[in-house]
Amino acid sequence: MAQSERMIDIAGVHKTFVADHGTVTALEPVTITIKEGEFISIVGPSGCGKSTLLRLISGLDQATGGTITLDTAGRKRPVGFVFQEPVLLPWKTILENVRFPLDTAGVSRAEADKIALDLIKMVGLAGFEKALPRQLSGGMRQRAAIARSLSDDPPILLMDEPFSAVDLLTRDTLNDELLRIWQSTGKTILLVTHSVDEAAYLADRVMVMTARPGKLKCVHNVDLARPRGEDTKLDPAYHALVAQLRRDLRDPHSATSGEAH
């Protein structure tokens, strides 16, 4: 997959909040460039600013300082966001949920249905188009949320611990499904996760954040062959990277670096 063009430029981005007890620094200046089609995992201790960084990239929140530039050719909605919980509309069917962004954008019903049905099939939910969210398992609901996030074809997909609420076997299956979707769509993906195994298995690069106030400690290139599968998890290089990430997280304040490319 070509990764020559810059998709996201983050330059000195930081975030502070005003709380009752004073100013809280959620994220210290972070600088990194992310290429088109790249898969980035972000790991770090709880409260280190991982989710804050995704919200700043998405525009759901505003940085206190620094700049974020998205090279998305003026797309009206350049970013799709998948949250920890699926956040589906409970009174709408899976088809209606996946179609919802297209409906609000004024896309014709026939075209919206075609796009939504194709996405439902792609995420492995064919046959559940008329089901309500409460009739699906947690993993199936998250598949539907991923399909909805892709419905208007954003070039960037941000994912905030999307598989943390499912069991390990389901998580492994969803990891493989996500890789398949990424390979077939060429999206630029940023995934926040607490699982170093998941981070290493999925990514081209892994960003490691320090404890609050969050800094970018280091960035690891993942030199594992693609496509990835069960054999990847037997590779000594995979186990070495997982071990290194665990060491990084056990010593969250050492040797920090705010810049990586």
Residue-wise pLDDT for 155-206, tens only, equals: 999 999 999 888 889 899 999 999 999 999 999 999 999 999 999 999 999 9
Query: Bridge-partner residues for 19, per DSSP?
Result: 22
Return the CA Rg of the chain. 18
CATH architecture for the domain at 1-46+62-78+154-224+236-261: 3-Layer(aba) Sandwich (3.40)
In this structure, are residues 211 and 48 in contact, taking their beta carbons and an 8 Å threshold?
Answer: yes
As a whole number, the mean pLDDT across the chain is 91
188-192 and 156-160 beta bridge pairing: parallel
Mean pLDDT, residues 12-41 taken together: 91
pLDDT tens digits, 117-161: 999 999 999 999 999 999 999 999 999 999 999 998 999 999 999
pLDDT at position 254 is: 54
C-alpha 138/C-alpha 256 separation (Å) is 37
- In the predicted structure, residue 32 carries a pLDDT above the cut 90: yes
Residues of the chain above pLDDT 70, percent: 93
CA distance readout (Å), 157 to 37, 57, 169, 242: 10, 10, 23, 24
Q: What SS3 string covers 9-55?
A: EEEEEEEEEEECCEEEEEEEEEEEEEECCCEEEEECCCCCCHHHHHH
- In the predicted structure, residue 261 carries a pLDDT above the cut 70: no
Mean pLDDT, residues 224-236 taken together: 95
pLDDT at position 209 is: 95
C-alpha 100/C-alpha 40 separation (Å) is 27
Which pTM does this prediction carry? Answer: 0.91
H or E segment and range at residue 158 = strand 156-160
Residue 261's CB is within 10 A of a number of other CB atoms, namely 10
C-alpha 163/C-alpha 13 separation (Å) is 27
pLDDT tens digits, 62-96: 999 999 999 877 666 789 999 988 889 999 999 99
C-alpha 190/C-alpha 41 separation (Å) is 6
pLDDT at position 4 is: 53
H or E segment and range at residue 203 = none
Domain ranges of the chain: 1-46+62-78+154-224+236-261, 89-153
C-alpha 163/C-alpha 198 separation (Å) is 10
